[in-house]
Amino acid sequence: MDSEKRDDVAIHTPPEFAVADADVHRAVEPEAEVAGTSLWKNAWRRLLRNRLAVFGLMMVGVVVAAAVVGPPIIRVTTGYTYDYIPADANLIRSFPPLRAPDGSFSLAHPMGTDSSGRDILARVLLGGRISLMVGIISTLVSLVIGITYGATAGYIGGHVDDLMMRIVDVLYAIPYMMIVIVLLALFGGQSALGQLFLLFAALGAVSWLTMARIVRGQVISLKNREFVLAARATGVSTRKIISRHLIPNTIGPVIVYATLTVPSVMLQEAFLSFLGLGVQAPLASWGSLALEGIQNIAVFPWQLLFPGLTMAVTLVSLNFLGDGLRDALDPQTRRT
């Protein structure tokens, strides 16, 4: 099978080796040095050579670090938390960024305050925590479902595979976002935390389809290889072959796709929150902050700008990182 061969090369042979393989006579000496570098080390080196990917990695690091340590720092220095509304009635209005109540320069609120006098930076950081959490947890949900489903279909093959993949095709054609909207609108609204869990489940449950297809393709190309045959010959159970031998070998493309799923899930979460169906007050996500911000856009544009731009920068960084990872782990599909 053609794809079998291609997938092989994609995972195990970085281009440096491809050249060395072609030149048989020269291979002996330099290989002693090159052979020591693993697939991961090679990938890491290629990733570091990609400037955009490094930028993405750093920005993601900055955003995650800020979301983790930012809120406590703000609480200690200014006393504000994401839901702290100042007791002084004069402070309950929206101040522009970097301005004190009297209009002079001040570092207290680098992103200004919202209409209730809450610190926007603290809310954006909370929004970051929740948006990142939704992105990561839903991606994990989709990973678990997608890998199990795809590996099972690919390994068993035959009619079972046909049926399982036909189901995926059918699900692909369903306007799932509409179903998710119905789900969130009709079952949600009980509590902020309940809504959050519903969101994890809903987004995770609809984003596993592509993952299942990728894993299935990988497993099909791997399952007739010698090491699987050897495992089967020594009497290893089907379940163990799938979990111990096949899934670990599909990890490259899976990591790449997972990295790209995180921003897309975050975007979907933001859509839903923007429509008022996702994260509920008093919690906030970048989408729900944008919804609050858009209502005051003419007068207090900073209420929309900061959450929106923070989100855009984070998503760009994640996408750059994902693209870079794909190029690093899968040199065959590199966007030359």
Partner 1 sequence: MFQFVIRRLLITVPMVVVVMSLTWGLIRLAPGNFYTGERALPAAIEQNIREKYGLDLPWYVQYGRMMRNALRGDFGTSLQYEGRSVNEILGRTMPVSAAVGLLAYLLALVVGVTAGTIAAVKQNSKLDYGSMAVAMFGISLPNFVLGPLLVLLFSLTLYWFPPARWDGIPSRSMVLPILTLSAVYMAYIARLARAGMLEVLRSDYIRTARAKGLSEKSIVMRHAIRGGLLPVLSFSGPALAILVTGTVVVERIFAIPGVGNYFINANLNRDEPLILGIVVFISIVILFFNLMVDVAYGFLDPRVRY
Interaction site with partner 1 (CB under 8 A): 170, 172-179, 181-183, 185-187, 263, 267-268, 270-271, 274-277, 287, 290-291, 293-294, 297-298, 301, 304-305, 308-309, 311-312, 315-316, 319-320, 335-336
What is the nearest approach in angstroms of partner 1 to the Cβ of residue 305? 8
Nearer to partner 1, 24 or 173 (CB): 173
CB of 313 to partner 1, least distance (A): 8
Closest CB 162 distance from partner 1, rounded Å = 14
Rounded to whole angstroms, the Cα distance separating 199 from 96 reads 33
In the complex with partner 1, the residue whose CB is nearer, 15 or 30, is 15
Minimal distance, residue 268 CB to partner 1, in Å: 8
Q: Closest approach of Cβ 321 to partner 1, in Å?
A: 12
Looking at residue 104, its amino acid is: S
Select 234 or 336, whichever has its Cβ closest to partner 1: 336
Please say which residue, 100 or 182, places its beta carbon nearer to partner 1. Answer: 182
Would you say 98 and 107 are in contact if contact means Cβ atoms under 8 Å apart? Answer: yes
Complex with partner 1: residue 19 or 312, whichever CB lies closer? 312
For partner 1, which is the closer residue by CB, 47 or 277?
277
Minimum distance of partner 1 from residue 327's CB (angstroms): 12
Minimum distance between the CB of residue 47 and partner 1, rounded to whole angstroms? Answer: 17
Least distance in angstroms from the C-beta of 163 to partner 1: 14
Task: Tell me how far apart the alpha carbons of residues 144 and 163 are, in angstroms, rounded to a whole number.
Answer: 20
Whose Cβ is closer to partner 1: residue 153's or residue 315's? 315
- Return the HEC string of the chain: CHHHHHHHHHHHCCHHHHHHHHCCCCCHHHHHHHCCCCHHHHHHHHHHHCHHHHHHHHHHHHHHHHHHHHHHHHHHHHCCCCCCCCCCHHHCCCCCCCECCCCCECCCCCCCECCCCCEHHHHHHHHHHHHHHHHHHHHHHHHHHHHHHHHHHHHHCHHHHHHHHHHHHHHHHCCHHHHHHHHHHHHCCCCHHHHHHHHHHHHHHHCCHHHHHHHHHHHHHHCCCHHHHHHHHCCCCHHHHHHHHHHHHCHHHHHHHHHHHHHHHHHHHHHHHHCCCCCCCCCCCHHHHHHHHHCCCCCCCHHHHHHHHHHHHHHHHHHHHHHHHHHHHCHHHCCC
- Asked whether the bond before 253 is cis by omega within 30 degrees of 0, the reply is no
Nearer to partner 1, 28 or 173 (CB): 173
CB neighbour class for 66 (10 Å; exposed up to 12, middle 13-18, buried from 19): middle
Q: How far is the CB of 105 from partner 1 (least distance, A)?
A: 24
Q: Is there a contact between 249 and 322 (Cβ–Cβ < 8 Å)?
A: no
Q: Which is nearer to partner 1, 70 or 307 (CB)?
A: 307
